[in-house]
Amino acid sequence: MQTDHRVPTTNTAAMRQQQHRKRSASSVNSRKRDRHDLICVVCHAPAMGYNFDQITCESCKAFFRRNALANAGKLKCRSGTDDCVISLETRKRCKACRLKKCFDKGLRKEWIMSEEEKRTKKQKIEDNRRLRAMSQNSTMFSITPSTSPSIVPETECFNFSVEYRKHFVKDDEDEDDNDNNKDTSYLFDDNNDTNDFKPIKGIFNNNNNNNNNINQSKFDYKILLNDHDRILLTKIDENYTRAVQLNISVAKGYDSPCLRNLNHLTNIVNELAQISTLRTITFLKLTPEFNCLHEDDRLVLVKHNLLAALFFHLCMCVNIHTQIYHEPNTANDYCYHAGELRLYSEEVYQQSMMFIKEVQDICSNDHLILKIVMLIMIFSKGSDINEPYWIHPHEIFHAQNVFTDLLWKYLDVRFSSDLTASIFSRLIFAGMKAQILGRKTKESVSKQTVNNDHLAPLMQSVLLSS
């Protein structure tokens, strides 16, 4: 009697899948073995490709990156001959000779990326990853798989639905009418002493109205959010732009920005600080979450939190490299030297410049982030021990949560998800620093012998409030 040695058919499918995985693994391993034909020019170990313009192993690649810039010329040969044999077995015995051989074999230290270059490369990788994800999601963005999503500048709006355009078309028409509106505020006019300012050319060009926009990303990250958040971010941008248009400080008769020279504290308060205050308050009035609050709560929020928000506005306007203050996207707005902040005090100036640099680095000089943070700062309760009783504290808390949640979501698509928490936390600490700077600014004004009557009424209420 013969024995049936056939394998039961119940596991046939599983066996085929296992055989397929083995063949795939074998194929991958064969490709890896092909790469092992490469030999490191330094230690003759198996190499995986080109690094710093030469074929190297991962060990020599990492060794060269760590030592080529920092330790070149500092290392000493252990044997004193400067001619040690460098091989897979001996490469860790003498760092000096290993580094010398790296240079002799043609590894180029100028190809080592700086931290800034690494961040830029990582950001490009993230951008490309998001673009690939968008191109695969044809349903969400209404594009065919064969087309690529458009990359639009930060200032341009995304193509929203017909309902969205109908909803906001009235606002757009009103904004156009404001060009000739009698309510448009020209804070300064040509009656000013012409010796106090001069036209400047070359600081801004047609493609970039403000040099502090150099680091601004040209990719519109808003389109990666859902419709509700995207519309809210777009309205924040539109409201801020409209607030600037409704409060214009121009040098009439000049096409280029004019650089104002201020020589007294009253000038910087009544000009630079006041135009920034007017634009920020108008920005708040155009924000529905602010308008729905009780009138007394609105007044107290502005009284106690406006100065902190103004320091984030300062981060949008100051080019940290040229130290020129200029409102972005304005054709002939006044410009100022950031050094004019010394009229408050040297301490206020120094800490303000450090604050501007820190905040611009945190958010990659993304102005939309700064606009959201300005709103969060305004809705902050408990920032001042002298705050009075609130009429509707829960409504203030809810309004701030709207923008706090929006900021988190935007940071999550703007930067890699593993950086969101860190950037969010650093912005919170920056908000605390802005509140401290606001208090120091008030103290510096109170310490100077300035006739309060010479200050604009609005600025008296902002700077002289207890």
DSSP secondary structure, 365-433, as one string: T-HHHHHHHHHHHHT--SS-TT----S-HHHHHHHHHHHHHHHHHHHHHHS-HHHHHHHHHHHHHHHHH
pLDDT class of 254 with cuts at 50, 70, 90: low
Highest mean pLDDT among 30-39, 118-127, 401-410: 401-410
pLDDT class of 220 with cuts at 50, 70, 90: confident
Rounded distance between C-alpha atoms, residue 77 and residue 93, angstroms: 10
Q: What is the per-residue burial (b if ≥16 Cβ within 10 Å, else e) of 320-335?
A: beeebbbbbebebbbb
Which parts of 235-337 are beta strand (E)? Answer: 247-248, 258-260, 318-319, 324-325, 334-337
pLDDT at 185: 46
This prediction has a pTM of 0.57
| CB neighbourhood size of 85 (10 A) | 11
Residue with more model confidence, 323 or 48: 323
Report the pLDDT averaged over residues 417-436. Answer: 92
The answer to whether 428 and 322 have CB atoms below 8 angstroms apart is no
pLDDT at 382: 65
Which amino acid, residue 412?
D
Report the pLDDT averaged over residues 401-420. Answer: 91
Report the pLDDT averaged over residues 107-135. Answer: 75
Q: Which residues pair with 198 in a beta bridge?
A: 259
pLDDT at 431: 93
Report the pLDDT averaged over residues 292-299. Answer: 90
Q: Report whether pLDDT(101) > 90.
A: yes
Rounded distance between C-alpha atoms, residue 229 and residue 241, angstroms: 19
Q: Report whether pLDDT(190) > 50.
A: no
| CB neighbourhood size of 152 (10 A) | 15
What digits encode the pLDDT tens for the residues 62-78? Answer: 999 989 888 777 888 98
pLDDT at 113: 85
Query: What region, left, alpha or beta, does residue 430 occupy, with left being phi > 0 and alpha being psi -120 to 50 degrees?
Result: alpha
Which amino acid, residue 283?
F
The answer to whether 303 and 466 have CB atoms below 8 angstroms apart is no
pLDDT at 133: 58
Token pair 């929203």 in the structure block, residue: 160
pLDDT class of 261 with cuts at 50, 70, 90: confident
Q: Report whether pLDDT(183) > 50.
A: no
Q: Which of 7-21, 32-46, 114-128, 392-406 has the lowest mean pLDDT?
A: 7-21
pLDDT at 124: 75
Rounded distance between C-alpha atoms, residue 35 and residue 381, angstroms: 61
Rounded distance between C-alpha atoms, residue 262 and residue 371, angstroms: 27
Q: Report whether pLDDT(9) > 60.
A: no
Rounded distance between C-alpha atoms, residue 283 and residue 371, angstroms: 9
pLDDT class of 131 with cuts at 50, 70, 90: low
Report the pLDDT averaged over residues 374-399. Answer: 84
Which burial class, exposed, middle or buried, applies to 391 when counting CB atoms under 10 A from its CB (0-12, 13-18, 19+)? middle
Q: Report whether pLDDT(141) > 90.
A: no
In the chain, domain spans:
49-111, 227-463
The torsion angles phi and psi of 213, rounded to 5 degrees, stand at -95, 5
Q: Which of 114-128, 238-252, 263-277 has the lowest mean pLDDT?
A: 114-128
- CA 178 vs. chain centroid, Å, equals 30
Report the pLDDT averaged over residues 273-294. Answer: 93
pLDDT at 198: 55
Token pair 């860790």 in the structure block, residue: 92
pLDDT at 466: 55
Which residues make Cβ contacts (< 8 Å) with residue 234, sequence separation at least 6? Answer: 157, 158, 160, 222
In three-state form (DSSP H/G/I as H, E/B as E, the rest C), the secondary structure along 104-123 is HCCCCHHHCCCHHHHHHHHH
Percent of the chain with pLDDT over 70: 69
Highest mean pLDDT among 5-9, 133-137, 367-371: 367-371
Q: Greatest CA span in the chain, whole angstroms?
A: 120
pLDDT at 3: 45
Domains 49-111 and 227-463 share a fold: no
Q: Which CATH architecture does the domain made up of 49-111 adopt? A: 2-Layer Sandwich (3.30)
pLDDT class of 157 with cuts at 50, 70, 90: very low
Provide the mean pLDDT of the chain. 76
pLDDT at 316: 93
Query: What is the secondary structure of 272-290 as a DSSP string?
Result: IIHHHHHHHHHHHHT-HHH
Token pair 């990492």 in the structure block, residue: 62
The closest of 200, 204, 288, 283 to 244, measured between CA atoms, is: 283
Q: Report whether pLDDT(128) > 60.
A: yes
pLDDT at 402: 94
Topology annotation, domain 227-463: Retinoid X Receptor (1.10.565)
Token pair 């039961």 in the structure block, residue: 8
Which burial class, exposed, middle or buried, applies to 450 when counting CB atoms under 10 A from its CB (0-12, 13-18, 19+)? middle
The closest of 317, 293, 319, 323 to 305, measured between CA atoms, is: 293
pLDDT at 279: 93
Which amino acid, residue 127?
D
pLDDT at 121: 80
pLDDT at 134: 52
The closest of 353, 341, 352 to 445, measured between CA atoms, is: 341
The answer to whether 233 and 423 have CB atoms below 8 angstroms apart is no
Which burial class, exposed, middle or buried, applies to 158 when counting CB atoms under 10 A from its CB (0-12, 13-18, 19+)? middle
Q: Report whether pLDDT(115) > 60.
A: yes
Query: What is the secondary structure of 138-156 as a DSSP string?
Result: HHHHT--TTS-PPP--TTS
